[in-house]
Amino acid sequence: MKVYFHDDFYESYCADPAAAPGRIEAVVQALRGKGDFVDAVPASRTDIIACHTDQHIEHVRRQGLYEIAALAAGGAVQAAETGLAEPCFALIRPPGHHASSGSAWGFCYFNNMAIAITRLKRAGKISKAFILDFDLHFGDGTVNILGKFPWVSILNPSSSDRARYLKEVERTLPDDADIIGISAGFDNHLEDWGGTLATEDYREMGKMVREASERSGGGCFAILEGGYNHRVIGQNARALIEGMET
C-alpha cells in the first residue's frame, strides 16, 4: 500500500499534541516494511482556496504554518487520487478535520479531507463521495465545508459502546460512492483519550470500507487526523491499513 509522507512531518511545528516529538515517528516505525512510502507534495493554492477563505489562508501564513499545512493537504490530495485505483494512506500532519472555511481549531489549519475530495470533484473524477470520520472529536470543519453539498455524505460515529459503534459504521457505509475517504483519528482507542475502540476495531473498519468501496465499484483512502498515545497510535494505523488491504 502506498503511504504518502514527507520528512518535514517530523518537524515539531508548534506546541500542540499533534506536533509532539515522537508521535509521527511511532507511526512511521509501525508502517515501515508494510507500506511503500512516497513523498508528499504541497497542495496548490487553487486547491486550498477552493475550501478556505483568503483571510484564513493569510492567517495561517502569518503563523508561519502555511508550508507544513499545505504539505499535509497535498499528501491528502495524492492519497485521494491514488485511492481511486487502490487503497492508500496519507501519513500527514497537521490534521485537518476541525478546519472550517474561515477558521480552525483543534490542532488543525487546512482541511485536508475537504481539499482532497473537492479536488477530485472539480476534476470530474467523482460524482459521489462518502467520508467516515472515526476520530474521537466531531469533524466540524469537514461538515462546515462539505456538508452543504448533496454529493457528499459524512459519518461521525458517536457511540461509546464498541459493538454499537462498529454496527453504525457497517450500517451507514454506502454502496454507491465513487470514493470513500477515512479521516483516521486514533484518539478514541482504549488507551487514548476516548477509551472506546480496540486496535482490532480499526482493522475491522478498514475492511468494512474496502468492502463497501468494492461494492460501489469505487475507491478508498485514509488520512491521519488525531491520536495522541505514542505507544499505540502506530499499531492502530497499521491495523487500519491491514484491514483496507484485506
What cell numbers appear for 210 in the block?
Answer: 474496502
Of the candidates 56, 97, 98, 137, the residue annotated as catalytic is 98
| Phi/psi-derived region of residue 33, left when phi > 0, alpha when psi is between -120 and 50, beta in every other case | left
> What strands, in cross-sheet order, belong to the sheet with 129-133?
36-39, 2-5, 88-90, 219-224, 179-184, 129-133, 152-155
Closest CA to 10 of 232, 29, 111: 29
State the Cα–Cα distance between residues 148 and 127, nearest whole angstrom.
Answer: 15
Long-range contacts of 139-142 (CB under 8 A, 24+ apart): 139/97, 139/98, 139/113, 139/183, 139/225, 140/97, 140/98, 140/100, 141/96, 141/97, 141/98, 141/99, 141/100, 141/104, 141/108, 141/111, 141/114, 142/96, 142/97, 142/111, 142/113, 142/114, 142/183
Which amino acid is present at 103? Answer: S
Burial of 229 (0-12, 13-18, 19+ CB in 10 A): middle
98 is catalytic: yes
Query: Which residues belong to the active site?
Result: 98
